[in-house]
Amino acid sequence: MDDLGPVDIPPYRPPSEAHSVLVRVTRGCAWNRCAFCGMYKGMRFEARPRAEVEADIARLTAERPDARSIFLADSDALVHPEIVPLVAAVRRAFSGAERITSYTRLHTLSRRPLRRWLELREAGLTRLHVGLESGDDGILARVHKGATAQGAIEAGRKALAARFDLCFYVLSGLGGESDWEAHAAGTARVIAAVAPRFVRLRSLVILPRTPLHEELQAGSFTPAPPRTRLRETALLIAETVRRIGERPAPGASALPLPAGPRAEAGARARADAAAAAAGAGAEAGSEIEIASDHFSNYIWADGRLVYGGVNGFLPGDAPLLLETLAEALRAVSACRAVQDPAGLARSGRGASLYSAL
């Protein structure tokens, strides 16, 4: 990368984008209020000038002409006012790429009409990485996510209606020791209702200089220990599978059709809702890939790694995944010293891949 000159390299990307070319479209996070997140604190959000981004694309193309995957950064590149022509520029530059992906927020998905997402899909964007975090409204409000469970369902269905590969991120342990069951059950309800292609599990690591760290120090938040986190993940899987089995046949009535104050607005809302329901129907028969592809999920018992996460497809692999969790629970219950990256970070005796501590 030293030969690329003044390319603005983004500091963060999803683990699944480890081999992707990273194109920085925005800097920082337009929301930047989540209580658990320390990634962009102190950074002012800005949309980079189109000419700067296109210059970076040209340099990156020269370096990686055969790139198979492109990731657009930072936190929500899709709020850039010129994102459609920028996606089209990436597609032209990397004509052989198999996918072009980006983070986006549930709020961004919700407030922009379906036709805007169809434009982005047509321009070449293929996958959306979306932080669901939790499907429980109380937890979402407490961590200032700026989203609701029902809003997440409607936003997810809109993404599927536009034919994106949709990846939801779930933050294990976000409910703490007291609300792990509500966290698991609510999240399962959203996942089953949307049926995204991917669900990625991360485990909460409380970072310094975040609002949640202040709650921890004040004693108003009790982190979920490893045993609770395993039980939470098992409930999430079991409840998702149960709800998938009970899911009604999708159709235009699967989403409420909001009545706009004007006839034209109401017609657009009904068209968006019907298309989103149709998109959800197209995915309803598909299996959901669930993966713990992050170091934060690890658990050690008496110095031995007993849990590295779960990886499989729902509903088909649920029995195997639940047995993996049961084995880890047995190992944790039989040992005296149990640790995970979250506990190491709190004690100051280790580091996580979120940040060096």
CATH classification of the domain holding 263: 3.80.30.20
Q: Is residue 201 part of a domain?
A: yes
* Helix ranges (DSSP H) in 284-337: 318-333
Q: Is the dihedral of CA 112, 113, 119, 124 positive or negative?
A: positive
* 3-class secondary-structure state, position 146: coil
- CB neighbours of residue 305 within 10 Å: 11
Residue 152: the pLDDT is 98
- Contacts of residue 58, defined as CB under 8 A and 6 or more positions apart, other chains included, come to 93
What Rg do the C-alpha atoms of the chain give, in angstroms? 21
- Write the single-letter amino acid at 331: A
H or E element, residue 122: helix 114-123
Please report the pLDDT score of residue 4 as a whole number: 53
Q: How many domains does the structure of the chain reveal? A: 1
Task: Give the residue among 17, 93, 91 at the shortest CA–CA distance from 55.
Answer: 93
Three-state DSSP at 230 gives helix
Q: What angle do CA 191, 11, 229 make, to 5 degrees?
A: 35
CA–CA distance, 123 with 274 (Å, rounded to integer): 23
SS3 for 129?
strand
DSSP state of 296: G
Q: Is residue 197 part of a domain?
A: yes
pTM recorded for the entire structure: 0.86
In a domain, 107, yes or no: yes
Asked if residue 336 belongs to a domain, the reply is no
Confirm whether 314 is domain-assigned.
Answer: no
Instruction: List the domain range (segments joined by +) for residue 229.
Output: 2-294
Profile the chain (357 residues) by mean pLDDT over runs of 10 residues: 69 91 96 93 93 96 95 95 98 96 96 96 98 98 96 98 97 97 98 98 92 94 96 98 79 34 40 46 69 93 95 97 97 94 82 42
Q: Whole-angstrom Cα distance, residue 338 to residue 352?
A: 16
Is residue 109 one of the residues assigned to a domain? yes
**Residue 353 falls within a domain, yes or no?**
no
Q: Are 124 and 69 in contact (CB under 8 A)?
A: no
In a domain, 306, yes or no: no
Compute the distance between CA of residue 4 and CA of residue 287 in angstroms, rounded to an integer: 41
The DSSP bridge partners found for residue 26 are 47
